[in-house]
């Protein structure tokens, strides 16, 4: 069994640049006394030499503790010259018995920081000059800025050193992007840039009309179209809109349509709109996100994305939607079928927000991006699976898809793909996400809806933002060990071995074979709804 320092671990992944432990699964640590923060610090001090950090850990700044059904997750960020080092985080995962069982590490070795300090220069660019360079590089004008530009002085890792830099978060519109860009504070060079956009008080209860999840599924009618015959009244459902404040708008503890223009307002406690009225989509996003958040809490996650997420039901005219990591908002498109009319599209986009809350910045590798898309599809499909007619269970977005899908039933994407890794990878996150969502769907068939949902949400806490499919599979196995003492490890491992994600190994043949159905067609994937 490999070791980190004197501690045995199930698996270690080394950092490609520094050679230090980057990820460690299945840590065999002793139970320690103290708070989660104290336990995490004691553990890190015991392996500081292996991490190539100062024994005192003086360059680590405590960030926060997140509680989950798996235990406590303690985060620290590394600093240099009193400035945060971008991306240099350590997360320590601790079980309820105060034993460390996982950690992830992106810190820069202390000796490299000392070498960087020798090269420091007193002359650095002012923030406004660096901001102008960022705007020029992105081709962005101030009139396209969507919200507030955030600037921060940081240290940025470059090879085996760090350099002073300005970090800017720039949300823009027409078309929408959430840029994160780093400008060298010495020479004004662009060090890195990326688009982070994820393309998808007093308490009272009032009534509203919704599709649940959409008219195609509710009526089992694939002939319905966005334009044409009127959607029958039988497609609507009257629901309670929980914990709205008393100001007449759709604002509550978990959702707010505050960034929507020309918002709906009710003076009589009723939001009984039909789909030809803009207020209908506001009710849709409020009800479905609010209900999903309450469901997540019922699984034991008391602080996962527990906030009033701002939503714009007409954020762009395209047939697309997105979650903005910079503004922490959901924005829905109005091309084709308006996206906020389909609850599965709403929950897919909310899935990106959930992951960003559990793993800030998640999606910084091709496979992590595909995992994000796959999880969004899984979340939407799993939530509605038990109320759907059988032929719709493996489909996502059947109402939205009537605008572009010739299939019967129409689908944005499916969850029963026979795609394998790496054979069917095409480097497009929505298509590749069908590999991941198919694995998650098999877990649901194995464990049942609630148990699978809890396991899948739990394993996010064990991921880094640049996780691979293999990392995800290992994290699911580790989460099962924490939740169920590893009762499902063999079956979970078998799913990912059969998909090509985990290395092949000798295994007993199980009765559950995801590839038993013959002649299943290779399924298409649309790159809509990021």
Domain limit, last residue, from 308, 325, 350:
350
What integer pLDDT is reported at residue 201 of this predicted model? Answer: 39
- Name the CA dihedral angle for 431, 436, 442, 445, rounded to a multiple of 10 degrees: -90
If asked whether residues 50 and 184 sit together in one domain, one would say no
On whether both 105 and 139 belong to a single domain, the answer is no
377 and 480 share one domain: yes
Give the per-residue pLDDT at 237: 96
Same domain flag for 318 and 406: no
Kindly report the CATH number assigned to the domain that includes residue 398. 1.10.390.10
**381/492 same-domain check:** yes
Same-domain pairing of 49 and 157: no
Residue 466 pLDDT greater than 70, yes or no? yes
- How confident is the model over 217-246, as a mean pLDDT? 92
Predicted pLDDT of residue 122: 60
Q: If you average pLDDT over residues 16-40, what whole number do you get? A: 96
> Does 400 share its domain with 449?
yes
Question: How, if at all, do strands 255-256 and 206-210 pair?
Answer: unpaired
The answer as to whether 83 is a domain residue is yes
DSSP 293: H
Assess contact for 443 and 266: CB atoms under 8 A: no
Q: Let me know if residue 410 belongs to a domain.
A: yes
Domain membership flag for residue 47: yes
Q: Are residues 215 and 338 in the same domain?
A: yes
Is 200 contained in some domain? no
Q: How many percent of the chain have pLDDT more than 70?
A: 93
Q: What is the mean pLDDT of residues 263-287?
A: 93
Beta bridge partners of 13: 23
Weakest mean pLDDT among 69-83, 87-101, 194-208, 238-252: 194-208
pLDDT of residue 49 exceeding 90: yes
pLDDT band at 508 (very low <50, low <70, confident <90, very high): very low
End-to-end C-alpha distance for the chain, whole angstroms: 40
Q: Are residues 146 and 40 part of one domain? A: no
Listed range (45-59, 101-115, 196-210, 443-457) with the worst mean pLDDT: 196-210
Is 70 exceeded by the pLDDT of residue 37? yes
Q: What is the CATH number of the domain that holds 86?
A: 3.30.310
* Cβ contact 106:84 at 8 Å: no
If asked whether residues 337 and 249 sit together in one domain, one would say yes
Segments forming the whole domain that contains residue 292: 206-350
Residue 199 has pLDDT above 70, yes or no: no
Q: What is the mean pLDDT of residues 243-270?
A: 92
The domain boundary residue, chosen from 320, 350, 380: 350
Q: Which DSSP letter does residue 102 get?
A: E
How high is the mean pLDDT of the chain? 92
528 domain-assigned: no
The answer to whether residue 178 sits within a structural domain is: yes
- Identify the band that residue 1 occupies on the pLDDT scale cut at 50, 70 and 90: confident
For the chain, what is the domain count?
Answer: 4
CA dist list (Å): 160 to 15, 98, 357, 358, 509: 12, 34, 30, 29, 47
Q: Are 23 and 14 in contact (CB under 8 A)?
A: no
CATH assignment at residue 177: 3.10.450
- Tell whether 222 is covered by a domain: yes
222 plus 180 within the same structural domain:
no
Q: What confidence tier does 38 reach under pLDDT thresholds 50, 70, 90?
A: very high
Residues 97 and 139 in one domain: no
Choosing from 172, 195, 218, the residue where a domain stops is 195
């Amino acid at each position: 069994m490999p070791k980190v320092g004197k501690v045995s671990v199930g698996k270690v992944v080394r950092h490609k640049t520094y050679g230090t432990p980057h990820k460690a699964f299945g840590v065999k640590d002793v139970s320690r006394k103290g708070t989660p923060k104290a336990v995490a610090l004691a553990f890190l001090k015991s392996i500081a030499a292996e991490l190539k950090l100062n024994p005192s850990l003086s360059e680590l700044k405590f960030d926060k503790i997140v509680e989950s059904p798996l235990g406590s997750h303690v985060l620290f960020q590394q600093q240099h010259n009193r400035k945060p080092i971008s991306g240099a985080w350590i997360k320590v995962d601790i079980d309820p018995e105060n034993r460390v069982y996982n950690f992830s590490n992106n810190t820069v070795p202390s000796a490299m920081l000392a070498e960087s300090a020798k090269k420091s220069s007193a002359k650095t660019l002012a923030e406004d000059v660096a901001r102008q360079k960022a705007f020029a590089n992105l081709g962005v004008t101030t009139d396209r800025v969507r919200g507030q530009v955030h600037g921060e002085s940081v240290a940025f890792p470059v090879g085996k050193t760090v350099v002073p830099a300005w970090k800017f978060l720039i949300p823009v519109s027409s078309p929408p992007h959430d840029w994160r860009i780093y400008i060298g504070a010495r020479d004004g060079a662009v060090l890195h840039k990326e688009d982070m956009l994820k393309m998808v008080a007093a308490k009272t209860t009032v009534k509203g009309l919704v599709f649940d999840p959409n008219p195609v599924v509710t009526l089992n009618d694939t002939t319905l179209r966005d334009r044409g015959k009127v959607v029958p009244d039988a497609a609507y459902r009257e629901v309670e809109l929980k914990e709205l404040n008393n100001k007449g708008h759709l604002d509550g503890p978990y959702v707010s349509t505050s960034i929507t223009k020309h918002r709906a307002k009710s003076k009589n406690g009723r939001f009984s709109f039909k789909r030809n009225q803009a207020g209908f989509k506001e009710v849709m996003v409020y009800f479905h996100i609010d209900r999903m958040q309450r469901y997540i809490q019922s699984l034991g996650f008391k602080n996962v994305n527990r906030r009033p997420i701002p939503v714009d039901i007409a954020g762009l005219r395209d047939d697309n939607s997105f979650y903005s990591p910079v503004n922490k908002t959901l924005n829905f498109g109005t091309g084709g079928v308006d996206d906020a009319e389909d609850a599965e599209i709403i929950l897919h986009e909310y899935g990106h927000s959930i992951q960003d809350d559990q793993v800030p910045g998640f999606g910084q590798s091709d496979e992590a991006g595909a995992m994000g898309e796959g999880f969004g599809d899984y979340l939407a499909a799993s939530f509605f699976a038990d109320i759907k007619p059988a032929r719709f269970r493996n489909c996502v977005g059947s109402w939205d898809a009537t605008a572009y899908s010739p299939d019967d039933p129409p689908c944005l994407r499916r969850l029963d793909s026979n795609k394998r890794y790496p054979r069917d990878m095409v480097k497009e996150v929505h298509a590749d996400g069908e590999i991941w969502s198919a694995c998650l769907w098999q877990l649901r068939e194995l464990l049942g809806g609630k148990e699978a949902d809890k396991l899948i949400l739990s394993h996010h806490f064990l991921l880094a933002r640049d996780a691979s499919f293999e990392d995800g599979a290992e994290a699911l196995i580790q989460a099962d060990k924490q939740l169920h003492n590893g009762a499902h490890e063999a079956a979970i491992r078998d799913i990912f071995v059969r998909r090509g994600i985990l290395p092949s190994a000798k295994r007993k043949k199980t009765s559950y074979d995801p590839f038993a159905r013959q002649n299943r067609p290779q399924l298409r994937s649309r790159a809509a709804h990021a």
